Amino acid sequence: MSISVRTHQIGASLLEVLIAILIMSFGLLALAGLAASSQQYVKLSQFQTIASQLATEYGERMRSNVDGFTSNAYDKTSAYLVDSVGVAGCIATECSAAEMAAADKADWLARLRTGLPSGDAYVLRDTANPLAADIWILWTEPSLANDGVSSLQAQTFSADDCPAPAVASLASGQPMPRCSHFRISL
């Protein structure tokens, strides 16, 4: 005599499918977040590349006008986003070293402000090494979050990252710009 025991598993496979869909949806949400983060870091890398290219360009302009460089005409020691950019005209056949430096600086600052969000610079010739200059490129990263905090920032920035005179004009509560430092030698 055999006894058959029937077990009822009605709906068990449906429950397994629902759990599998739930686990897969969490995985897909994680992948979407990863894709969004990678796009933000690509943009951050683009800003750093633009800053590097602009610093190199300014160094080349300094190298092409050594007299203007040695007279400190390429220095920009005003605070962040304080001075306006005026286009200096040096279209004549012969310009003085100071006129060429003023035209270079105005053109470079205009390119800097269009290439980076709230882009600015702080440039100072080294007093210890007369053929070297320090260039700090400053910019604020655009806010992508609803609360006004940039989600692009890979780290927190402090006043130690930028030269003190460059950020002296910032009001309290205003976001600290990102600073990239470059040293140029002629």
pLDDT of residue 130: 87
Task: State which H helix or E strand residue 28 sits in.
Answer: helix 12-64
pLDDT of residue 8: 64
What's the rounded Cα separation, in Å, for the pair 102 and 110? 12
pLDDT of residue 169: 74
- Contacts by 153-161, CB closer than 8 A, 24 or more apart: 153/178, 154/41, 154/44
What's the rounded Cα separation, in Å, for the pair 69 and 166? 20
pLDDT of residue 146: 46
- Cβ(133)–Cβ(143) below 8 Å: no
pLDDT of residue 42: 85
Residue 148 pLDDT > 70: no
Residue 157 pLDDT > 70: no
Sequence ranges of the domains in the chain: 12-185
What's the rounded Cα separation, in Å, for the pair 178 and 176? 7
